[in-house]
Chain A
Amino acid sequence: MDSPDPDWADVRLHVVTGKGGTGKTTVAAALALALASGGRKVLLVEVEGRQGIAQIFDLPPLPYEERRIAVAPSGGDVYALAIDPEEAMLEYMEMFYGMRRAGRALTKMGIVDFATTVAPGFRDVLVTGKTTEAVRRRGRNGRRVYDAVVLDAPPTGRITRFLNVTKEVAGLARVGPIKNHSDLVSGVVKSPETAVHFVTLLEEMPVQETLDGIAELRSAGLPAGGIFINMVRQSLLPQAALDSAVKGRLDPDEIVLGLKAAGVADGAQATELAAALAGEVVEHAHRTELERAERETLAGAGVTSYELPLLADGVDLAGLYELAETMRTQGAA
């Protein structure tokens, strides 16, 4: 079923970033599934050559080619593309100048390696160029080929640089085709058709990086999207029990009685076990308290946030669909 009014209905390019270890690729993949559901066509793009999409969907390494990798709930297709800057450059030269042979010569001479080494801005402009081309591409019927494109982008620390291509290549190419190309990319990236989403955990460092990243993005005039709080653990204990645990007033006697009633342990063993379990509760209570504080800090950013559960069995295909469903019920897609 379609969400009544998804939060990013007008967005065509979803850029997903996050600190290392927060599950950026997982969230990007789940978002692509969520956006595709109900009969839409979505392209999931990866740019860092890590083959993270292939791993997550349990597929052989992806070539530089758009291919269908998954079917979304209630119809809809997810396509994937692993962008290789060198291939993107060849394609670009052929498309705009009909110069595929010259392009091959450049590659042989090591010039592509050279250009992307000396100026990563070039590399970024090739990658974002290919991505925005997919966003803008129209079919014969004049309609966009993809309803949405999800980009599994570089991590938070690099995201503004990565997207702010015009600025990055400005010093290198003041005029000429690269400049024109980067202006075109910039037109898409800075438009309301783009949203940059942040993936975080409820931990200090990723939360701080997220806030810094959002501030940096805004000052560069780039559109911040939502925050995906990943791997959220459900609290099983009543708030009162958590409160007393934090204050060191959790009563182990009640746990002892419960353990005996359930037939788990008896006598001194029950007392010992209850003490150990109470220790776990105290730790859990402290963490819950910290998570609450981090959640408040995130709310200060004034950005919509979504919460994704920690998958007990790790991330597999079923888990991705579960995350996609959660995104849809929360209105992210």
Chain B
Amino acid sequence: MKTPARLDIDAILDDEGTRIIVCCGAGGVGKTTTAAALGLRAAERGRCAVVLTVDPARRLAQSMGLTELDNTPRLVSSPEGGGRLYAMMLDMKRTFDEIIEAHADPARARQILSNPFYQSLSSSFSGTQEYMAMEKLGQLRRSDEWDLIIVDTPPSRSALDFLDAPERLGRFLDGRFIKLLTAPAKAGGRSAFRLLNAGFGLMAGAMTKLLGAQVIKDLQTFVSALDAVFGGFRQRAEMTYQLLQAPGTAFLVVAAPERDAMREASYFVERLAEERMPLAGLVVNRVHTSPASGLSAARSAAAAEDLESRGEHELTAAVLRLHAGRMQLSAREHREQEHFISAHPTVPVVRVRAMSEDVHDLTGLRQIGDLLATA
């Protein structure tokens, strides 16, 4: 395996041109922890940073002193040297409501907010969280109160969802079906009108059968109300997208040395390249290493077997077995990373060794930050 370049975390954090860091990757690889640790390290190196997190594990939130999901950045730490760390948890519904309120007159906003379809969309649409995280990111960036924003992407079904969500929402609002629901008569020339109308009749019949008449009515109200605020939506999504492509943004793909996570990391790197998003590098969390790596798994296991067959030095035999297992694990983790590294030899990588305990406080986050920067 080629040795990839080392990802220099401190160079990214210290560069004042870095304004946004996006941590992305599969679920369960320690994205949020990485984001929080980067935030703390940045603050301790003098940056005024805010960590925007979506649905963090309770302990991790507590480690930063976050207790509620309230959409407000809270001061976590103000280390000597003038840096600051803020953190906030995204309230997806609140963020969505605010957009509606900002783009619709009060009467229309009320109509939208109380519609059952809006309530479903705003609280559980599988792209809403991603979309709102990006929206919030845009808001924080425009406020210019922080010189570094670190965002961890939602634990999506697919790690790519947050890139697709704004477009999906846009496409959805722009779709033929929405157009039909809002104004079937606006559909253009006569022949097109006839065609669409026939389609619409068939469809409306099927819909009514399937969903019931009340649902169709709710849906129509919702769509026509939303249609009015839709222009602003599209525009904002595009702005955020451009912000992500801008030079001040750094994407960090986070993974663990496991097959699925590394595969997801590969997809992600390829996708970021396609979208011309600036990739800074790959963070591989939870890597097992050994302080006695000179003693191979095979030799260690053979020695253990030798001692066991002689019935001597039971403790040493067990210790050698333990070591052999660890070397095996390390070799397997190495293999899982190989594919990625040979496919993407130019992507800088940093490996963070596995910790025996979860992070509970700022000390733990600081330790992770040290590992990220010096590994």
Closest to B155 in A: A20
Q: List 15 A-B contacts (CB under 8 A).
A: A21-B26, A21-B258, A50-B157, A102-B203, A103-B206, A105-B203, A114-B178, A118-B219, A241-B315, A258-B319, A261-B313, A262-B303, A277-B319, A280-B292, A312-B328
Given the complex of chains A and B, what is the CA–CA distance between A70 and B64 in angstroms?
A: 48
Q: B315–A255 contact, CB under 8 A?
A: yes
Q: Which of B60, B180, B291, B358 has the most CB of A within 10 A?
A: B291
Q: Does chain A have a CB within 8 A of B75? A: no
CB distance from B40 to the nearest CB of A (A): 19
Within B193-215, the residues touching A (CB, 8 Å) are: 199, 202-203, 205-207, 209-215
Which of chain A's residues have a CB closer than 8 A to the CB of B214? Answer: 173-176
Known A-B contacts A205-B57, A237-B319; the reply to A261 vs B307 at CB < 8 A is yes
Given the complex of chains A and B, what is the CA–CA distance between A205 and B55 in angstroms?
A: 13
Which of chain B's residues have a CB closer than 8 A to the CB of A175? Answer: 212, 214
Interface of A is mostly: helix
A interface with B by C-beta (< 8 Å): 19-22, 48-50, 93, 97, 99, 102-103, 105-106, 109-111, 113-114, 117-121, 154-155, 157, 161, 168, 171-179, 203-205, 208-209, 233, 236-238, 241, 254-255, 257-259, 261-264, 273, 276-281, 283-284, 286-287, 290, 312-314
CB distance from A239 to the nearest CB of B (A): 11
Known A-B contacts A172-B117, A205-B59, A236-B322; the reply to A120 vs B175 at CB < 8 A is no
- Size class of the B contact interface (CB-based, 8 Å): 35 or more
Which of chain A's residues have a CB closer than 8 A to the CB of B313? Answer: 254, 257-258, 261-262
Q: B27 is contacted by which of A21, A111, A237, A287 (Cβ under 8 Å)?
A: A21
Q: A105–B318 contact, CB under 8 A?
A: no
Given the complex of chains A and B, what is the CA–CA distance between A313 and B57 in angstroms?
A: 30
Closest 7 pairs (CB-CB, A-B) = A258-B316, A176-B212, A21-B28, A20-B27, A258-B313, A20-B28, A276-B292
Q: Which of A172, A203, A259 has the most CB of B within 10 A?
A: A172
Given the complex of chains A and B, what is the CA–CA distance between A318 and B176 in angstroms?
A: 50
Interface of B is mostly: helix
Which of chain B's residues have a CB closer than 8 A to the CB of A241? Answer: 315, 318
Known A-B contacts A109-B176, A109-B199, A254-B316; the reply to A118 vs B57 at CB < 8 A is no
B interface with A by C-beta (< 8 Å): 26-29, 55, 57-60, 116-117, 119-121, 124-127, 155, 157-158, 168-169, 172, 175-178, 180, 199, 202-203, 205-207, 209-215, 218-219, 222, 256, 258-261, 290-292, 294-295, 299-300, 303-304, 306-307, 310, 312-323, 325-326, 328, 332, 356-358
